[in-house]
Structure 1
């Protein structure tokens, strides 16, 4: 079990690093968005085009990266959406068992299905080097690849969470013993 917990910590570190990187992307997304708004209005006032379809699409692509790559980080920090009418009052071992089962029966199979059904579409996008239909738009195939990467990261984080939840269920790890952000 120690080797599995070590693997879990490695996965956690990877997704922690990606999550911190995503935090900077949020700032960049906001700055690009502010420029797009200011550029549109100032550009109209001075008679110049100060923004472009590429800048608008960059803002969308950054949002895609934040949303998709941030999913594993959110799972790591237990910040995903949960309806916890009963769950909130359960003891830690029961919560761990439910999380373990849910990860194995729902999360990981769902991620595998998304990767499986996305693969051909993404491969076709790469084959034709799909571009945005908008004038001056960006290539679409690299951002579509993020779907595969994000769901692979979500599978890895699901494995990490399953390892930790199983250790909690077995009494080998206390919920408060899970590594905190500062320890990663």
Structure 2
């Protein structure tokens, strides 16, 4: 594989590994918010912001950590036939299906960018009683989708190299 592709795979994997390991800890932030919410509802006055904030943190956890999960091969796949195939067949099928993922993520990124622009331009707020600004979470969503797209391309390059009998990583 060309040096540019090797460098691309190296740096994308490295960035997503660092960001993904940081994103792992967002689950504890979400748990803290939900614990605070439970305490407030039980003993004091319920907070308006806790449920929606927990949802925002969960979105960030899921989307920012998605690329790292893909890198670590942690995504769920249908294992009806997959486990019985040879490594070469698995790699071939993975490289074909990842093209569909790249296409999907491209459309998702396109829509996410326009949705984020709208949220910034019109100061979009949530329709809840708390009414937080939507732009920060939409920006995080676009970043997460972009990182996932970069990682999907990296995985495609690794699959192509593996089909050729080479190793990138």
TM over 0.5: yes
Question: Shift of residue 2 of structure 1?
Answer: 5.0
1:102 to 93, 97, 102: 97
2:110 to 104, 116, 134: 116
> What CA deviation, in whole Å up to 9, does each residue of 1:19-45 have, x standing for no partner?
1111111111111111110111010xx
Q: What's the counterpart of residue 29 of structure 2?
A: 28
Q: What's the counterpart of residue 165 of structure 2?
A: 171
Could you tell me which runs of 5 or more consecutive residues in structure 2 were left unpaired when the two chains were aligned.
Answer: none
Question: Shift of residue 97 of structure 1?
Answer: 1.6
Question: Shift of residue 154 of structure 1?
Answer: 1.1
Equivalences for residues 120-139 of structure 1 within 5 A: 120-139=114-133
CA distance in 1, matches of 2:97, 2:128: 42
1:88 to 61, 79, 83: 83
CA distance in 1, matches of 2:124, 2:148: 26
> 15-24 vs 53-62, which deviates more?
53-62
Larger radius of gyration: 1
Could you tell me which runs of 5 or more consecutive residues in structure 1 were left unpaired when the two chains were aligned.
Answer: 44-48, 180-184
Q: What's the counterpart of residue 60 of structure 1?
A: 55
CA distance in 2, matches of 1:137, 1:38: 22
Q: What's the counterpart of residue 19 of structure 1?
A: 20
The question of whether the paired residues in 2 share the 8 Å contact of 1:53 and 1:137 is answered with no
CA distance in 1, matches of 2:90, 2:130: 50
Question: Shift of residue 137 of structure 1?
Answer: 3.5
CA distance in 1, matches of 2:2, 2:113: 35
Return the TM-score normalized by structure 2. 0.90
Return the TM-score normalized by structure 1. 0.83
